[in-house]
């Protein structure tokens, strides 16, 4: 149950697009289309942003999109806004268990 | 409105026990699987345990297997986490979360605000 690998930090200027990667193995990210992404602001509970690799829940901005290639999933935030500054975590099903990514801090410059 | 409210956190000595509760409202609790997820201070999210909608199936992370027990009382719309043999590394904010679709393949669509467990002598 090793954590999925994410970059520690990603930054961008307002209006730019950024992409956060989430790398696992064929036993988790690569083996199933059950990748989710969560946004967490300091002191707050996580919020679901993307599920099943690329589906967006009702109410989540279409600036957020997800994809997957092989053992790596990605979250792209387009038109970066100040309110997007937060920590982001990916997650995946894995062999009768569940695993989160290491987390990425997004900074809006 | 879906609401999940955790309680029961606090200070406990190493080796001690604690029971967390998660009161659910705003949805048909008995129709959904549930998860416990924790976050150590300044660290990332860690899956702890999951339970099916009727309580018949339970799952645990290796780090808590044999020490923690997840359960639920659908008549009281409440989820529980009984924690035993607590260690310093169990210190964290514990969140409960609702699962949509499969117990482990599903999505955590609503989360509570968390309850802090401190393990210290």
- Cα–Cα dist A78/A61, whole Å: 10
Residues 6+ apart with CB under 8 A from B56: none
Burial, B112: exposed, middle or buried (Cβ in 10 Å; 0-12, 13-18, 19+)?
Answer: buried
Q: Which residues of A touch B97 (CB under 8 A)?
A: 46
Residues B60 and B68: beta-carbon distance below 8 Å: yes
Look up tokens 């607590």; give the residue: B86
Render pLDDT for B81-107 as a digit per residue (tens, 0 to 9): 999 999 999 999 999 999 998 888 889
Among chain B residues, the shortest Cα distance to A88 is held by B44
Look up tokens 């210290």; give the residue: B120
List the single best residue of B35, B44, B63, B109 to mutate versus A (max A Cβ within 10 A). B44
Among chain B residues, the shortest Cα distance to A58 is held by B109
Q: In chain A, which among 47-106 make CB contacts under 8 A with chain B? A: 47-48, 51-52, 57, 87, 89, 91, 93, 96-103
Render pLDDT for B43-94 as a digit per residue (tens, 0 to 9): 999 999 999 999 999 999 999 999 999 999 999 999 999 999 999 999 999 9
Note down pLDDT in tens along chain A; length 109 residues.
789 999 999 999 999 999 999 999 999 999 999 999 999 999 999 999 999 999 999 999 999 999 999 999 999 999 999 999 999 999 999 988 899 999 999 999 9
């Amino acid at each position: 149950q090793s954590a999925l690998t994410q970059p520690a930090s990603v930054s961008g200027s307002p209006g730019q697009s950024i992409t956060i990667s989430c790398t696992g193995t064929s036993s988790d990210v690569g083996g199933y289309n059950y990748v989710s992404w969560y946004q967490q602001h300091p002191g707050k509970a996580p919020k679901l942003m993307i599920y099943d690799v690329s589906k967006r829940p009702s109410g989540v901005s279409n600036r957020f999109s997800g994809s997957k290639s092989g053992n790596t999933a990605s979250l792209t935030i387009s038109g970066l806004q100040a309110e997007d500054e937060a920590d982001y975590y990916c997650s995946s099903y894995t062999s009768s268990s569940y695993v989160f990514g290491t987390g990425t801090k997004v900074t809006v410059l | 409105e879906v609401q999940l409210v955790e309680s029961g956190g606090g200070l406990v000595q190493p080796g001690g026990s604690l029971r967390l509760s998660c009161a659910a409202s705003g949805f048909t609790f008995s129709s959904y699987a549930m998860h416990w997820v924790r976050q150590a201070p300044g660290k990332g999210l860690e899956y702890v345990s999951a339970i099916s909608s009727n309580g018949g199936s339970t799952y645990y992370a290796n780090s808590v297997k044999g020490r923690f027990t997840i359960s639920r009382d659908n008549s009281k719309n409440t989820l529980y986490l009984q924690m035993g043999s607590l260690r310093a590394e169990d210190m964290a904010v514990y969140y409960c979360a609702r699962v949509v679709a499969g117990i482990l393949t599903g999505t955590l669509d609503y989360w509570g605000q968390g309850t802090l467990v401190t393990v210290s002598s």
